[in-house]
Chain A
Amino acid sequence: MLENIKKEFSTRILVLIPIAIAINIAIGELVVRLKLPVYLDSIGTVLVGAIAGPWAGALTGALTNLIWGLFNPFAAPFFYVAAVIGFLAGLAGKRGAFENESPRWLSVLVGAVFVFSLTMFILAFSNASIDDTGFTSYPSMADLFSQYAIIFVVAILIGAAIGYFLLQRGGYAGFWGLITGIVAAIISAPTAAYVFGGVTGSGTDVLVAAFRASGAGILSSVMAQGAVSDPFDKMLSFMVVWLILRSLPARFKAR
């Protein structure tokens, strides 16, 4: 085990990690400057995970947020989330998600499942009702499907289109990105809710406000916001890394 961990940290990887962290922070800041509703601050982390393995990925993620915390204290408490993202990217790399080309139907499926679940999630929240004791009840899935059938069909079509045109042959990477995003949303919510009162000071706060207004608790509002933003963001980041690794000369990848 320890031997395997050590093997991930060759001199090349030790040199790559600072560059990866700098990429995370530089692009993360850029995205804020362009006011985009994504983070894209884990491309470097995913890259190290993909090239070196889970432990190097985890270290890159954790250090990114801790170092970013030196001038953006909001990032620091989420270091463990970033570490998990890097770790999962490493597992994805070990499974060949960044090397193999997926069939296009898989990309279509990943895209469709993603947008479908997202839609279900948002509708479930916006249709939740609170009774007098403050207990929140959600509508049943059957009700939702019959009520919003057309919306669901449209969502699946949009998702399929995203899969076909955006993911293309990176279906495996996209799939792992999706999984990673869901995990990230779940584990970051407690910190966001507890330490920061559920807000980030960025554009995604609007979502938290919307969920709060619909009656959801702080923790579930934050989680819901994460469930909307994170999977898409991580799917995008995994895709970008897949693209980068494909355009690298073969010599670089030979470790």
Chain B
Amino acid sequence: MAIIDLRNVTYKYPLTQESALKNINFQVNEGEFVAVIGPNGAGKSTLCYTVAGFVPHFFKGELSGTVEVAGADSSKSNLHEWVLNVGLAFQNPFNQISGAKYTVFEEIAFGLENIGVPRDEMIPRVNDAMKLTGISELADRSPYSLSGGQQQRVALTSILVMHPKVLVLDEPTSQMDPIGTREVFGVIRTLAEQGMTVIMAEHKVEWIANFADRVVALHEGQIIEDGKPQEALTSDVLAGKGFGISRYTSVARKAKETGLWKKDKLPVTLEEAVEGFAHV
């Protein structure tokens, strides 16, 4: 059953001429991990904000079509009810620190205080969430004293602790090193397997290929490709439109022209490339 259901969604920010999303039809099943790719300005963030309820409730503007998440209709809901079902974390970690708290532990508890979780339930929930994302040792640090990557983990944890049904992430690992990125993708994969639905806008195609269930490609506000990572990420539809394509795919595509790549499918990851070239 689709937990996210967008039908014929077209959206225009206030005071702009061009629609940021054009006739989007997008369904996601419970427990699916969907990666959204696209060049800058393709509408990735707008799609994230739409699922998370900020379009149109926060940004205003004109939205047509229907947006349903977890059975609720966006046009009939308030943002403060919507965020109980849908969690949102985005790229810039610095702006996600509430500023109202002095330690990481208190920072993560901020959301729980707002939605009225009792104190004796709050503490174990914060501890569990920190253990999950591997930041337990940061508990007593000031959120402002952390590195960008650590702050991104705190931002993610602050949303996870609220136990949303749907997790929307807009480039959540942009300031992390490869080790941190792997850990975070691993955590998100685990959560998806436990039934959480994840929408993630992301540039790092090799990680997507390894961890996501499905890839949606946006271009100029429209979905131009939607499928399994392997197929979507190597699709010819994406070529020449400014998508971040894996270097292995680019190499193999060139190799295919000269007959050097024999397989039908193009590779996304190093492993696939090695395997493909091994048969030459």
Contact = CB atoms under 8 A, between A and B. Distances in A.
A70 interface: no
B99 A251 contact: no
A246 B105 CA distance: 41
A150 interface: no
Nearest to B14: A254
A125 to B, nearest CB: 47
Contacts of A250: 15
Contacts of B60: 254
Interface of B: 13-16, 60, 99
Given A18-B99, A250-B15, A254-B14, 6 more contacts: A251-B13, A251-B14, A251-B15, A251-B16, A254-B15, A254-B60
Smallest CB-CB A-B distances: 7 pairs:
A254-B14, A250-B15, A254-B15, A251-B15, A251-B13, A18-B99, A251-B14
Interface of A: 18, 250-251, 254
A79 to B, nearest CB: 22
9 contacts: A18-B99, A250-B15, A251-B13, A251-B14, A251-B15, A251-B16, A254-B14, A254-B15, A254-B60
Contacts of B15: 250-251, 254
Nearest to B58: A11
Nearest to B98: A15
Contacts of B14: 251, 254
Nearest to A250: B15
Contacts of A18: 99
A254 B15 CA distance: 8
A25 to B, nearest CB: 15
A51 to B, nearest CB: 15
A247 to B, nearest CB: 16
Contacts of A254: 14-15, 60
B65 to A, nearest CB: 22
A137 to B, nearest CB: 56
A9 B13 CA distance: 22
A18 B14 CA distance: 26
Nearest to A12: B58
